[in-house]
Amino acid sequence: MPACLPARRFAAAGLLALTMTVAAPLSSLPLGLQPAHAAEKGVFFPESFTLSNGMQVVVIPNHRVPVVTHMVWYKVGAADEERGQSGIAHFLEHLMFKGTDAIQPGEFSRIIAKNGGRDNAFTSYDYTAYYQNVARDRLEMVMRMESDRMANLKLTDAVVYPERDVIIEERRQRIENEPADRIGEQINATLFVHHPYGTPVIGWPQEMSALTREMAERFYKTWYTPNNAILVVSGDVTAAELKPLAERYYGAIPARPVPERKRVTEPPLTSSRQVVLRDAEVRQPSVRRIWVAPSYRLDQNSQAYALQVLAEIMSGGTTSRLYRSLVVDQKLATSAWLGYGPTAWDMATLSVGASPAAGVPMDKLESALWAEVDTLLKSGVTEEEVATARKRMLASAAYARDSLTGPAQTLGAALATGQSIDDVESWPVRIDAVTADQVNAAARAVLSQTNHVTGLLLPPTGKDS
């Protein structure tokens, strides 16, 4: 069953967040991967070429096991939908599993499973991706099937409209029945009042129920073409081995003109806003505040790397500022975080949040959390904090190479949102060059904005402590 990404994701590790969760201890790094060496250019060391029809191909060799991850990324997502058709990108993601003349509806995933593999797909604001994890000797089979549905998807009313019911039910289960997801949706819609990032990836319910086969076919024929796609293969294969297969299956598909990505811009807002959701299903209250921040692509003042270091200082594990202060020392929270994800075609976001410990009133937690933000703005971070954060991040970058799927996800997301392979491979060098002054300047530029949105997730009135 395909799966969407219904909300914006935040991660302290920035570009490499898809491959790393916890920084490795420096002492455990293998020789040759100590931070002094990790700061040299290079993370995944991919190979790349472009087919004659314009399709970019990236290969990330990893010969430890005879397995590959095969991913096709389309440079189109929910933010590219026509106004009034929210959810069509995610709907089409589901419909891509409904077959061609060569493969019957539902057979794609069954064939993958019969061959010992796993497959899935996901939709975000800026891209849609399809992936399979299979044994190396099944790679050609996967490429034949994936290229077939790139060019020959067959949609009928009999398969389209029952699947529309499926995505409507998915929204009920994943959004409407989950208070944390509901408030997240409302926070996004309040932060982005005009830009499509304020519309949920899965769609608004009244528009989802009006989606048609004709809309899906038009979206497919507009955006699903090889010159708007990126093939990323990670695992036991080289570019020399993959190129003939890529040319045979994907290279045979003709290119088509693709519309320019035209996104509206946000109006100039200066007022802060608050969203409060009280629900009997809330078991863990929380507070969060979210600001618009620069993405990699729109980072005119070179703040993206500094903000990633800031996130590591404030939220990078149990020794981070927020956890140490609010959870360990003051014992006011069970969790506290500062999250930032710069991988987006347009604006990114930075968020700060916490959940109260048992018996702690929400207003007391809020006061302590905003006091930490004020301290950061007034006093900044130190060079020692920055140096320690850089070391942890570079250590994690070294271990990111061990993953099979993670590098394909990282490179695919980066390329689909306007970055280059060189940008990805330069990440360690750019992180290692970040200074305390740069972190403090970036923090003040973002956190001093007054057009933020604060969200409060609470149980029913009188039970918020």
Indicate which residue of 40, 81, 93, 214 is catalytic. Answer: 93
What do you get for the CA distance between the two ends of the chain, in Å? 39
Residue 32 CB partners (closer than 8 Å, separation 6+): none
93 labelled catalytic: yes
Residues 298-301: contacts with CB under 8 Å, at least 24 apart: 298/346, 298/347, 299/342, 301/442, 301/445
- A 10 A CB-CB count for 334 gives 15
**Using H for helix, E for strand and C for coil, what is the string for 272-299?**
CEEEEEECCCCCCCEEEEEEEECCCCCC
Is residue 25 within 8 Å of 395, Cβ to Cβ? yes
> What is the bridge-based pairing of β-strands 348-356 and 229-235?
unpaired
Q: Active-site residues: which are they?
A: 93
